[in-house]
Amino acid sequence: MERNWAGTHEYTAPWILPVADEDDVRHAVREAERRVHALGTRHSFTDLPDTDGTLLDLAGLTGGFLLDEGAGTVTVAAGTRYGVLAEFLESNGYALHNLGSLPHISVGGATATATHGSGDGNGVLTTAVRGIRWIDASGEVRETREGDPDFPALAVGLGAFGIVVAVTLAVQPTFRARQDIYVGVTWDAALADLDAVTGAGYSVSVFTLWNEESVGFVWVKTRVESGDADVPDTLLDGRRDHEAAPLGTAGNVTEVRGVPGPWLQRLPHFRLDAVPSFGDEIQSEYFIAREDAPAALRAMVALGERIRPVLIVSELRTAAADELWLSGAYRRDMLAIHFTFVNDPAGVRAVLPAIEAALAPYAARPHWAKLHTFDAERIARVHPRLADAREVYERLDPEGRFSNAHLERVGVRRAR
């Protein structure tokens, strides 16, 4: 029995086949009698990576790293975890523009679903992609680079067109950062000047329980260009607190007491050498235009009493607009509203319709890999390039070898 990393979703594929290199993938695709799909580090909370045929386990598809200092890029096998890649880059004096909360996620899976970190000026993780190497339905190797006509559809490709085996990412010189926690910021102050909160650092996360008084914890990550980069003691009507523990005291979070350190030890919330997040959880997330954020957040606070019985914590993050067709930030600077729920599938599914209804006026887009109730019609309303992306996937994979029930249900692939 194979489950996602939190143990809250079970995969139903009749065959799960580990692969260790590109040739393994090519052989598996050619020999498979039915559909094929890729499984990464199991951080999806739905059947997005599942199939009724052969599920290729890419956890062993790690290989080496190809650093091209002249081009400012690194090429990495798709199964490689971001934390492992970050250690390699740091040892060579380089960094990525951002990291997600968990350094445990794979490069292939995270970029294929437009997973993100935070920061008003930072794009989702996929905006660092400069090229992808993938296996098509005949088992042949294909490459797509930034600037190619199909690139905006394939960069956030959801595994809908082939098996991505390697990704080329833009890099930059290494840098240091520090993390500080602010408490006591009220909703009144935050919603009156939300830019002051989300723009307080290079990357900012707000952890909330949707109480009416305080937003909760504001987790500010500041790039340190020289010295210790002093930060203010106050943020709106809140204050900096070195004793605050936004994610509990489990000891699995990165240093949050204002101590400068390498980017790879500050941009993620969780340490690579520890179990991430809370475990035994269900996650959902929705993306809205940043200009709609105050109204949408008021709607969530109003639902607080309904949400809290199944909620562990919510997190608010931002990302800059991009041109990737199926990105949550496609052509709009976005606010991400994330929910970490307890492992109560019935309870969570009971509250999601209320959350989605409250966010519907703001054309909320669900995170592709997290639990939601959107169908194809609702997805098409909020993703203006959905039909264009589907046309690309159908052209590249006309027989639907890489389609699955989930992709067909949300309209990314044609129903078969």
In 3D, which of 371, 394, 350, 387 has the Cα closest to residue 379?
Answer: 387
Sorting pLDDT into bands at 50, 70 and 90, what band is 3?
confident
Our measurement of the distance from residue 303's CA atom to the centroid of its chain's CA atoms, rounded to an integer in Å, reads: 25
The contacts of residue 134 (CB under 8 Å, 6+ apart) are 141, 142, 143, 144, 154, 161, 162, 163, 164, 165
d(CA 55, CA 44): 14
Q: What is the pTM of this model?
A: 0.95
Question: Mean pLDDT, the chain, as a whole number?
Answer: 94
Tell me: pLDDT of 280 over 90: no
Q: What pLDDT is recorded for position 244?
A: 81
Kindly state the helix (H) or strand (E) to which residue 176 belongs, with its residue range.
strand 176-183
Tell me: pLDDT of 227 over 70: no
* C-alpha distances out from residue 412 to 310, 375, 387, 393, 405, Å: 30, 10, 8, 8, 10
What residues form DSSP beta bridges with 21?
none
Tell me: pLDDT of 226 over 80: no
d(CA 372, CA 210): 20
Assigned token pair, 50? 């599942």
Q: What pLDDT is recorded for position 276?
A: 66
Tell me: pLDDT of 279 over 80: no
3-state secondary structure of 150: coil
Token look-up 């996620």 returns 105
Q: In angstroms, how far is the first alpha carbon of the chain from the final one?
A: 27
**What dotted CATH number matches 176-366?**
3.30.70.2520
Token look-up 């307080």 returns 200
Query: Most confidently modeled of 1-5, 136-140, 209-213?
Result: 136-140
Our measurement of the distance from residue 237's CA atom to the centroid of its chain's CA atoms, rounded to an integer in Å, reads: 30
